[in-house]
Amino acid sequence: MKYHYYLPIFLLLPMFIQAQATLVARGDKAFRDLRYVDAIDLYQDALAEDSINKATMIKLAESYYRTQQYDASLSWYHKAIQADAAAATDTVLYRYAQLLAMSGQYPAAAGAYRQYMAKGHPDEQLNNMAQIYENNISSFYKDTLNTQSRLLNINSGYADFCPVFVRAGLAFVSDRPRVQAFKKMNGWTGGEFLELFYIKDTARIKDVMLRTPELEDVLSYAPQDKIVNDDNDPKSSAGSPEIAVNRKLNYRPVENQLSSRMVMVFDNRLGGRFHLGPMAFSHNQDTAVITYNYPAKQGKNGVSRLQLQFFKATRNGWEKLPDFPYNSPDYNVGHGALHPNGKVLFFTSDMPGGLGGKDLYYCLLTEKGWAPPVNAGPLVNTAGNEMFPYVSPEGVLYFSSDRWPGLGGLDIFSVKLEGGYKAIAAPQNAGAPMNSRRNDFGVLLYDHDHRGYFSSDRRGNDDIYRFSPVSSAQ
């Protein structure tokens, strides 16, 4: 009769295995569908039942990486590699090295990069990066004595990035909660889809640590604003990821942020079903180029790709121009940046034939329209990712790269262009404080490139910062 005591265990074991397999299968589907927030929940539940499933550990780690939760991502990659050295495939080892650098563990990152290169991936940039991590990381901090950066009060605690001047104000990209007839959630982050926002006067943009009398009536703690929304109150639906419809994981509170009455949607008529932005303007601001998602998942693997769309300013608003001829449902074309002379468009794409994951390309404007894209070449592009191009008023190309030697993640670089718009030398790392261990991108410059704005997720979410010489007032 003793076997009766064991019977429930044997009966439940197949049910347990089936339930665990179901969680993994659901997590895998969410991962394939780019719903990383859902994938994280499902993989965590699966690993609670089977803590040594290395394939699930790695997918959980990558899901954390893609939702900007880098410490958790590094932890799970480390657990997977510790559990089984065979888990350190080339792809895993490269990501592990990136995350070690993003956590400031530079000697360990150098070692991981060397292991990756030893597995049949020789790379000049990675070799230089490893050498700097071992011997000369301080070289990236030499500008901190002369340049300062400040977190700004236009940030919301959600993702805010890629500013651009609009008349006397500033437009930028954000996924902050907003009033919508039908709520749409971005399964990638758990937040809202990206939208373009606008503040009319840059004079209201201040360091978050400043609480000046002239701002007293427009900051989110102003008494008259509490009736509408208190962005800094954890009980407010617009200030808490726990209560808000937006359940994004990366919410980071911002002190003294501008009232929601001061920051508005740039133009409701420009919105689409999915992401909207970044945006760039021509020198006289009569033409805009905006990054959109394709309207339907009609491309390869059913993914809605990025595309560029041009608009012309009219008395009745922004008029849509013919589609950019090099958009494709099978690859991304985005992050448009117009040269100050209006004759050249730089953009990011993962179209076939590039040097790496995402490359920078440019098109020349002719009498017949935009000429075919030209790869920016090996003095800009690498085997990694180059994104977020910007051409300053001085004609210098700025962009972000995760392969040229830097502090970690995406770093901001600059390169001078020759008459044919090719780089004349290898790019220069902007160094700290513009760059950090995390992702730094989305540059906007003025005053002969001595002052400006940039974007960074160094606090755990994308924020907009301003930089200037140390001696100048903010």
What is the mean predicted confidence (pLDDT) over 446-455? Answer: 95
- 376: pLDDT strictly greater than 50: yes
Greater pLDDT, 361 or 216: 361
- Residue 182 has a pLDDT of 59
> How does pLDDT run across 65-113, given as a tens digit for each residue?
999 999 999 999 999 999 988 888 999 999 999 999 999 999 999 999 9
Identify the band that residue 266 occupies on the pLDDT scale cut at 50, 70 and 90.
confident
> How does pLDDT run across 102-133, given as a tens digit for each residue?
999 999 999 999 999 999 999 999 999 999 99
- 217: pLDDT strictly greater than 70: no
Do residues 391 and 452 touch, judged by C-beta distance below 8 A?
Answer: no
Greater pLDDT, 203 or 250: 203
